[in-house]
């Protein structure tokens, strides 16, 4: 019964968002000690870019939501990042699962070091699912901006190629995980990581593709 109510709540939230053309992106605050607050300028810069280039009307203020909070259902797009430990208890995992299967979307961006924790904790959310790498011809790489080689490499860590993984629930991409890429670094203010304008623009365009995909899939 509670799950049905949650689905109804998210459905009407989506209707309200559509009617108002006014969306707010949220940053996920998780437990475990990892720096969920990393890259503080990344989401505001991405929102500004999307509003300018996609014609969206996303609020520039970024919300912060905890994994176990029902406030999660107020946001169709939730971003998660960090370098360290992530921990979901059973209630948080169930809440995140309900959110995702009810129409929500989670973008996880590895800021270097979060990978083993993400894979373990997302198994609590979807024990029946495994991350699968998205091919370069997936729609997420072919929105307003074309990325024929798939996820672009933004920041070097171990010299590995950038990879984009997904979790699919009943055919819908509910979670997109960017690994060895560090999109959030590319969204940050130019003085933070000294990325070139070309690199920042590439990251912002990929972020815009992600936002456009989520709001139109």
Name the residue among 138, 199, 122, 200 with its Cα closest to residue 173.
138
pLDDT tens-digit map of 15-63: 434 433 579 999 999 999 999 999 999 999 999 999 999 999 999 999 9
The pLDDT of residue 155: 79
| pTM, full prediction | 0.90
Task: Indicate whether 159 pLDDT > 80.
Answer: no
Q: Are 102 and 6 in contact (CB under 8 A)?
A: yes
Q: Are 121 and 88 in contact (CB under 8 A)?
A: yes
pLDDT tens-digit map of 104-134: 999 999 998 899 999 999 999 999 999 999 9
Residue 127's Cβ-count burial label (10 Å; 0-12, 13-18, 19+) is: exposed
| Domain total in the chain | 1
Residue span of the structural domain in which 176 resides? 2-216
Residue 192 pLDDT level (bands cut at 50, 70, 90): confident
What percent of the chain stands above pLDDT 70?
A: 90
Residue 177 belongs to a domain with what CATH number?
Answer: 3.40.50.12140
């Amino acid at each position: 019964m509670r799950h049905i109510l949650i689905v109804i709540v998210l459905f009407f939230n989506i209707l309200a968002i559509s009617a108002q053309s006014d969306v707010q992106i949220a940053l996920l605050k998780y437990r475990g000690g990892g720096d969920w607050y990393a890259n503080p300028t990344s989401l505001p810069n991405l929102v500004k870019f999307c509003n300018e280039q996609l014609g969206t009307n996303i609020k520039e203020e970024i919300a912060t939501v905890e994994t176990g909070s029902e406030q999660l259902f107020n946001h169709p797009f939730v971003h998660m990042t960090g370098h360290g430990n992530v921990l979901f208890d059973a209630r948080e995992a169930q809440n995140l699962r309900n959110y995702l299967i009810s129409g929500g979307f989670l973008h996880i961006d590895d800021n270097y070091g979060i990978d083993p924790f993400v894979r373990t904790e997302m198994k609590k959310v979807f024990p029946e699912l495994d991350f699968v790498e998205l091919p370069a011809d997936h729609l997420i790489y072919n929105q307003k901006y074309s990325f024929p080689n798939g996820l672009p490499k933004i920041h070097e860590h171990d010299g590995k190629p950038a990879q984009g993984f997904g979790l699919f629930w009943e055919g819908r991409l509910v979670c997109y995980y960017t690994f060895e890429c560090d999109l959030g670094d590319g969204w940050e203010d130019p003085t933070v990581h000294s990325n070139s304008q070309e690199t920042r623009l590439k990251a912002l365009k990929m972020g815009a593709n992600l936002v456009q995909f989520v709001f139109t899939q």
